[in-house]
C-alpha cells in the first residue's frame, strides 16, 4: 500500500471517528410512580415466625434462634413439568455447575415441578451483557437485573418491548394467588413500574444502608478506646490508633463515610433541595468540610499507605489483619467476614460504629429502599407459562421459617448441610460448589436477619445498629420517581470521583475545588440540576 | 567472553556498576512481585494475617489454596477448554493469516488493494459490542466454543507483520521455484514458510497469548459453566463476594476467597504463558522489528 493511500485512510478514519464521537443525546427521563397506586399488588403479610427483634422498616427484623419446626408453606407444585424455564441471572463468585450436574438445582426443581435452567453471569460485567442481549432482543424466559444496571441506555424502552406486563397478573387482589409475593411491601413494588405498567418482581432489600463504619472492637478494647461521637473524636482516635512504626494505621479509605458524618446529601447520588433549589453535594459547604477533614487524615498519615495509592488494595485483608482498625464497608459482608475470621482468631470482633454527626448533632444516614434486583418475564410466553413462572417466583420468595426458605438458602439436609447444635444448617463443600444465589436473586424474600452459634451475638449487634441508624435515613425528595439519568451527567460521575480522590490525597490542592465545581457545572452538572428539578415538579 | 569490538574502550567501573544496578533493579521489579505471589499462594491464613496482605518471607508451606482451587473439576475442566481454544484457535488463526498475508504480499494478486484496505480498516474501527453480538448469535455460534475463536481469528496487526516479512523474501527465490514448475501452494509451503519460521512463531505466540487470556467473549456468548475458559473461572474466584461499592450483597453464605486462593489463581494463570515464552523469545526482536519498519 502506498504512503499516500495510507494517509488517505487515516484521514477518512479521523473523519468517521469525529462523526461517531458526537455528544450523546440522551437527556434523561423520569416517571413518578407515586401516582400509580391502582396497579400495585395488595399487601398481605405472611406471619409464619415472629421475629425476636423488630426494627422499623425498611431495615429487616432479627431472629435470634432457628425455628424448631419449619412450616411447609407451599404445598402444591407451581410447575407443570414442561420445558425448562431458562433464567439469565448474575452472581459474584464462581459459577456453579449447570442443570444435570448440580444436586442443589435438582432438589429445588423437584419441589417446583419444573426445571429452571440458569445462565449465571459475572456481576461486575453484567451491564455489558445486558446491553448486548437487550439490544439483540435475545432474552431468556426470566431475566434478573440489578437496580444499578437499570440505567443502561434505553432500558425503559427495552422493558416495554421485551418483557411481559404483569399488571393484570398481580394488581390488587390478583396477587393473593401468590401469597409470598403479596407479602412484599408496597414501596418495593412501586419501583417495578415502567411506562405505567407493573413489569417486574422485586428483590426486597434487607439492607437499605449504603455504608457502615466498621471498627475492630477487640483492638479498641485492648487500647481502652470507645467509638467516637464527633468528627474531632474520630480524629483523636486516628491519632491514638496510628503507629506506623509498628505497621498499624487507624483508617482505610473512609472518604464516603466522612461525607455522611458531615451530613453531605446522598439522595440520587448526592442531590438535595435547598429552599426550592436543587443542589448537588459537591457544591455544599458540608462537602467542603468533609473534604478538608478527609484530606487531614491522609496528610497526617492516618490512612494505610497501601490505600493511598489504590483505595481498594486489599482493605478487607488489612482490616482482618488489624493493620487498619477502622474501615467503611457495606453491612452485607459483615457476617461472612466475622464467621470466617473467628476460625483463625477467636478474639476477632468487628462492629459498625453507632451513627454520629460531625458536631454531635442528629446524624444523617445515606440509604435507599429500592429493591436490589428486578426479575422480568419474557413477553409472549402465554398466560399459562407466565403464571407458572410467577408461581415459581412465589416459591422462591417464601420467608424465614419455612421449609422452602431453608431449601433455597442451604440446599438439602445431608447433601449440602448438616445441622449444628442450635439447628442452624452448617454448609459443606458441595454447597459451596453448587450454590450461586440462583433462586435467591430471582425473587428474594421478605427480609430477615438470622444468625447462629458461628457468629455469636451477630443478630443483636446488627439490629442494634440498624435500629439506631434507620430513623436517621435521609428523606429522599425524589422517592418514588424512577430515573434514566442524562448521559452527560452519568459520564461526569467517574471523573468527579477521581478528582475527589486526588484532593483528599493531596495530589490537588483543596483550593482547586471551586474551579473543579465550575467545570462540573459546565460539563453537565447544571443540566443534571435542571433534570432533577423538572422531575420534582412533574 | 566479551563481544565488544576491539576499537571500543573498556567500560569504566562506574559505568559497569551503574548498568549492573539498573539491570538488578529491573530484574527485581519483575521477580519480587512474582515471588510474593507464589509465596503468598503457599502461605497459611495465619501467615497472611500476620503479614497484613502479601507475604514476602515464607513461613512454612501450605497447599490448601491450591487444594481448594482444584477441589472440584471446575479448574481442570476450564484448563482443558482453554487448551482446546488456544491450540485450535492459534492453528486456525495462523493458517488464515499466513494465507491472507501471502496473497496480499504478491504484487498483482486479485483485489489486492481493496482487500488490504478492508483489513486495515479493522485496525481503526472495532465492530462494537452490539454488532458483534448480533453477528455471532446470528451465525448460531452462541454456546459454541467457536464464538471464542472466529470473531478474533485474523488480527490485522499480525497480518501486516507477516505480509511485510513475506514481501522481504527475495523475488529471485520465488521466481526460480516457478521456473522449476512450482505453483503458488508449493512456493508458499516449500519456500516462503520455511524462510519465515521465526516470524510465524512470534505471530503464533501473539495469537496463543490472546486466546489464552481472553474472557470477555466467553462472558457474552457462553452460558454453560462447563464451557467457560480458565480466565473466566479464575476471575470468578478473585471477584467472589466483591459487590459494587455501596451495595451490600444479600443471600450469599459462601465464604469469600482468601488472599492465598487469589494468588494461587494468579500463579495458575500466569505460569503456562511463562513456560511458553522462553521458547519463542529469541525470535521476538527480529519479527517485531520487521513489522515495525516495513510497510
Indicate the SS3 state at residue A407: helix
Strands A85-91 and A142-146: parallel
CB contact under 8 A, B216 and A16: no
- Nearest-by-CA chain A residue for B133: A132
CB contact under 8 A, B117 and A1: yes
For the cut 50, the answer to whether the pLDDT of residue A335 exceeds it is yes
- DSSP code, position B54: -
Query: Are residues B121 and A9 in contact, defined by beta-carbon separation less than 8 angstroms?
Result: yes
Q: Which among B290, B50, B287, B237 is positioned nearest to A321, based on CA atoms?
A: B50
Indicate the SS3 state at residue A256: helix
Query: Are residues A273 and A536 in contact, defined by beta-carbon separation less than 8 angstroms?
Result: yes
CB contact under 8 A, B241 and A322: no
Q: Which among B81, B90, B72 is positioned nearest to B228, based on CA atoms?
A: B81
- Among the four given CATH numbers 2.40.240.20, 3.40.50.1110, 3.40.190.10, 2.40.30.20, the one describing domain A29-55+68-205+370-449: 3.40.190.10
Query: What end-to-end distance do the CA atoms of chain A give, in Å?
Result: 60
Instruction: Name the percent of chain B lying above pLDDT 70.
Output: 88
Q: Residue A177 has what pLDDT?
A: 95
Place of cell 503479614: B51
Partner-chain residue, chosen from B49, B236, B246, that has the shortest CB–CB distance to A94 = B236
Q: What are phi and psi of A280, to 5 degrees?
A: -90, 155
Superfamily of domain A212-366+485-537, CATH level 4: Periplasmic binding protein-like II (3.40.190.10)
Q: What are phi and psi of A202, to 5 degrees?
A: -85, 155
Distance in angstroms (rounded) separating the CA atoms of residues B91 and A454: 53
Q: How far is A196 from chain B (nearest CA, A)?
A: 27
Partner-chain residue, chosen from B224, B239, B255, that has the shortest CB–CB distance to A336 = B255
Partner-chain residue, chosen from B48, B117, B236, that has the shortest CB–CB distance to A93 = B236
- Nearest-by-CA chain B residue for A447: B250
Q: How confident is the model at residue A341 (pLDDT cuts 50, 70, 90)?
A: confident
Q: How confident is the model at residue A372 (pLDDT cuts 50, 70, 90)?
A: confident
Q: Residue A1 has what pLDDT?
A: 46
CA distances from A25 to A21, A153, A161, A484, A495 (A): 11, 11, 21, 13, 20
Residue A143, all three cell numbers:
431475566
Listed by start position, the domains of chain A span: 29-55+68-205+370-449, 212-366+485-537
Query: Are residues A381 and A216 in contact, defined by beta-carbon separation less than 8 angstroms?
Result: no
Q: Which domains are delineated in chain B?
A: 13-62 (no CATH), 72-242+254-293 (1.10.3720.10)
ipTM metric: 0.76
Q: Residue A416 has what pLDDT?
A: 93
Q: Residue A210 has what pLDDT?
A: 85
CB contact under 8 A, A1 and B239: no
In whole numbers, what is the pLDDT of chain A averaged over residues? 87
Equal fold, A29-55+68-205+370-449 vs A212-366+485-537: yes
Q: Residue A300 has what pLDDT?
A: 92
CB contact under 8 A, A437 and B226: no
Helices (H), A178-254: 179-182, 186-190, 217-222, 231-241
Query: What end-to-end distance do the CA atoms of chain B give, in Å?
Result: 38
Average pLDDT over residues B5-11: 79
pTM for this model (two decimals): 0.81
Strands A62-63 and A449-450: parallel
Q: How confident is the model at residue A13 (pLDDT cuts 50, 70, 90)?
A: very low
> Residues B146-199: pLDDT tens digits?
999 999 899 999 999 999 999 888 888 888 999 999 888 999 999 899 988 888
> Residues A252-307: pLDDT tens digits?
999 999 999 999 998 887 889 888 889 999 999 999 999 999 999 999 999 998 88
| CB within 8 Å of A230: residues ≥ 6 apart | A356, A357, A358, A359, A360
Please list every residue in chain A whose beta carbon sits closer than 8 Å to the beta carbon of residue B220. 128-129, 132
Q: How confident is the model at residue B59 (pLDDT cuts 50, 70, 90)?
A: confident
Q: How confident is the model at residue A446 (pLDDT cuts 50, 70, 90)?
A: low
Q: Which among A233, A237, A231, A197 is positioned nearest to A215, based on CA atoms?
A: A237
Indicate the SS3 state at residue A442: helix
Please list every residue in chain B whose beta carbon sits closer than 8 Å to the beta carbon of residue A323. 52-53
For the cut 50, the answer to whether the pLDDT of residue B294 exceeds it is no
Distance in angstroms (rounded) separating the CA atoms of residues A426 and A452: 9
Amino acid at each position: 500500500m502506498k504512503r499516500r493511500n495510507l494517509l488517505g485512510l487515516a484521514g477518512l478514519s479521523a473523519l468517521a471517528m469525529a462523526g461517531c464521537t458526537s455528544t450523546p443525546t440522551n437527556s434523561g427521563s423520569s416517571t413518578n410512580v407515586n401516582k400509580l397506586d391502582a396497579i400495585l399488588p395488595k399487601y398481605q403479610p405472611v406471619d409464619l415466625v415472629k421475629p425476636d427483634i423488630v426494627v422499623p422498616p425498611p431495615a429487616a427484623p432479627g431472629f435470634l434462634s432457628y425455628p424448631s419446626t419449619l412450616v411447609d408453606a407451599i404445598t402444591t407444585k407451581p410447575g407443570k413439568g414442561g420445558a425448562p424455564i431458562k433464567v439469565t441471572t448474575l452472581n459474584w463468585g464462581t459459577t456453579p455447575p449447570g442443570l444435570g450436574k448440580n444436586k442443589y438445582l435438582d432438589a429445588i426443581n423437584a419441589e417446583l415441578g419444573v426445571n429452571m435452567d440458569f445462565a449465571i453471569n459475572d456481576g461486575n460485567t453484567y451491564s455489558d451483557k445486558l446491553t448486548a442481549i437487550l439490544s439483540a432482543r435475545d432474552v431468556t424466559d426470566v431475566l434478573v437485573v440489578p437496580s444499578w444496571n437499570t440505567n443502561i441506555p434505553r432500558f425503559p424502552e427495552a422493558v416495554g418491548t421485551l418483557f411481559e406486563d404483569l399488571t393484570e397478573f398481580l394488581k390488587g387482589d390478583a396477587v393473593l394467588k401468590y401469597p409470598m409475593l403479596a407479602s412484599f411491601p408496597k414501596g418495593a413494588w412501586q419501583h417495578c413500574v415502567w411506562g405505567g405498567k407493573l413489569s417486574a418482581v422485586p428483590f426486597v432489600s434487607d439492607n437499605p444502608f449504603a455504608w457502615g463504619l466498621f471498627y475492630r472492637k477487640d483492638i479498641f478494647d485492648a487500647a481502652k478506646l470507645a467509638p467516637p461521637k464527633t468528627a474531632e473524636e474520630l480524629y483523636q482516635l486516628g491519632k491514638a490508633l496510628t503507629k506506623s512504626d509498628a505497621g498499624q494505621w487507624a483508617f482505610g479509605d473512609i472518604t464516603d463515610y466522612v461525607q455522611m458524618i458531615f451530613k453531605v446529601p446522598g439522595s440520587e447520588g448526592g442531590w438535595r433541595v435547598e429552599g426550592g433549589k436543587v443542589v448537588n453535594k459537591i457544591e455544599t459547604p458540608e462537602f467542603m468540610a468533609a473534604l478538608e477533614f478527609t484530606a487531614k487524615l491522609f496528610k497526617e498519615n492516618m490512612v494505610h499507605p497501601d490505600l493511598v495509592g489504590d483505595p481498594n488494595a486489599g482493605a478487607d485483608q488489612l482490616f482482618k489483619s488489624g493493620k487498619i482498625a477502622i474501615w467503611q464497608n457495606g453491612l452485607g459482608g459483615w457476617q461472612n467476614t466475622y464467621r470466617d475470621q473467628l476460625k483463625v482468631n477467636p478474639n476477632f470482633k468487628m462492629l459498625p460504629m453507632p451513627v454520629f454527626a460531625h458536631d454531635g448533632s442528629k446524624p444523617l444516614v445515606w440509604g435507599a429502599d429500592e429493591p436490589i434486583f428486578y426479575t422480568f418475564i419474557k413477553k409472549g410466553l402465554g398466560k399459562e407459562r407466565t403464571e407458572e413462572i410467577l408461581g415459581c417466583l412465589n416459591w422462591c420468595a417464601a420467608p424465614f421459617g419455612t421449609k422452602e426458605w431453608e431449601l433455597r438458602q442451604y440446599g438439602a439436609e445431608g447433601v449440602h448441610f448438616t445441622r449444628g447444635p442450635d439447628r442452624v444448617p452448617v454448609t459443606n463443600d458441595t454447597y459451596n460448589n453448587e450454590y450461586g444465589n440462583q433462586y435467591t436473586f430471582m425473587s428474594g424474600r421478605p427480609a430477615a436477619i438470622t444468625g447462629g452459634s458461628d457468629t455469636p451475638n451477630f443478630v443483636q449487634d446488627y439490629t442494634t445498629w440498624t435500629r439506631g441508624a434507620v430513623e436517621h435515613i435521609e428523606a429522599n425528595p425524589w422517592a418514588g420517581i424512577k430515573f434514566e439519568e442524562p448521559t452527560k451527567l452519568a459520564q461526569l460521575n467517574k471523573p468527579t470521583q477521581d478528582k475527589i480522590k486526588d484532593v483528599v490525597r493531596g495530589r490537588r490542592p483543596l483550593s482547586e475545588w471551586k474551579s473543579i465545581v465550575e467545570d462540573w457545572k459546565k460539563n453537565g452538572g447544571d443540566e443534571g440540576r435542571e433534570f432533577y428539578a423538572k422531575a420534582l415538579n412533574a | 567472553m566479551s563481544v565488544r569490538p576491539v576499537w571500543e574502550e573498556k567500560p569504566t567501573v562506574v559505568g559497569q556498576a551503574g548498568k549492573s544496578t539498573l539491570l538488578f533493579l529491573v530484574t527485581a521489579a519483575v521477580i519480587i512481585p512474582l515471588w510474593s505471589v507464589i509465596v503468598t499462594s503457599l502461605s497459611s491464613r495465619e501467615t497472611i494475617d500476620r503479614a497484613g496482605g502479601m507475604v514476602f518471607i515464607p513461613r512454612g508451606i501450605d497447599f490448601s489454596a491450591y487444594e481448594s482451587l482444584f477441589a472440584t473439576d471446575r479448574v481442570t475442566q476450564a484448563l482443558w477448554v482453554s487448551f482446546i481454544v488456544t491450540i485450535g484457535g492459534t492453528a486456525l488463526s495462523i493458517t488464515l493469516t499466513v494465507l491472507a498475508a501471502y496473497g496480499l504480499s504478491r504484487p498483482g494478486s486479485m483485489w489486492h488493494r481493496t482487500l488490504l484496505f478492508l483489513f486495515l480498516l479493522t485496525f481503526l474501527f472495532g465492530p462494537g459490542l452490539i454488532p458483534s453480538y448480533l453477528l455471532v448469535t446470528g451465525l448460531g455460534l452462541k454456546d459454541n466454543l467457536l464464538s471464542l475463536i472466529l470473531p478474533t481469528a485474523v488480527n490485522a496487526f499480525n497480518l501486516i507483520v507477516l505480509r511485510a516479512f513475506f514481501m522481504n523474501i527475495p523475488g529471485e527465490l520465488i521466481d526460480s521455484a516457478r521456473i522449476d514448475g512450482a505453483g503458488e501452494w508449493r512456493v508458499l509451503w516449500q519456500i516462503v514458510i520455511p524462510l519465515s519460521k521465526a516470524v510465524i512463531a512470534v505471530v503464533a505466540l501473539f495469537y496463543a497469548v490472546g486466546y489464552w487470556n481472553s474472557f470477555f467473549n466467553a462472558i457474552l456468548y457462553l452460558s454453560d459453566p462447563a464451557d467457560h475458559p480458565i480466565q473466566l473461572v479464575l476471575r470468578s474466584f478473585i471477584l467472589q463476594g466483591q459487590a459494587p461499592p455501596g451495595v451490600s450483597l444479600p443471600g450469599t453464605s459462601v465464604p469469600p476467597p482468601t488472599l492465598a486462593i487469589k494468588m494461587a489463581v494468579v500463579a495458575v494463570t500466569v505460569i503456562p504463558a511463562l513456560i511458553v515464552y522462553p521458547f519463542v523469545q529469541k525470535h521476538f526482536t527480529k519479527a517485531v522489528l520487521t513489522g515495525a519498519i516495513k510497510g
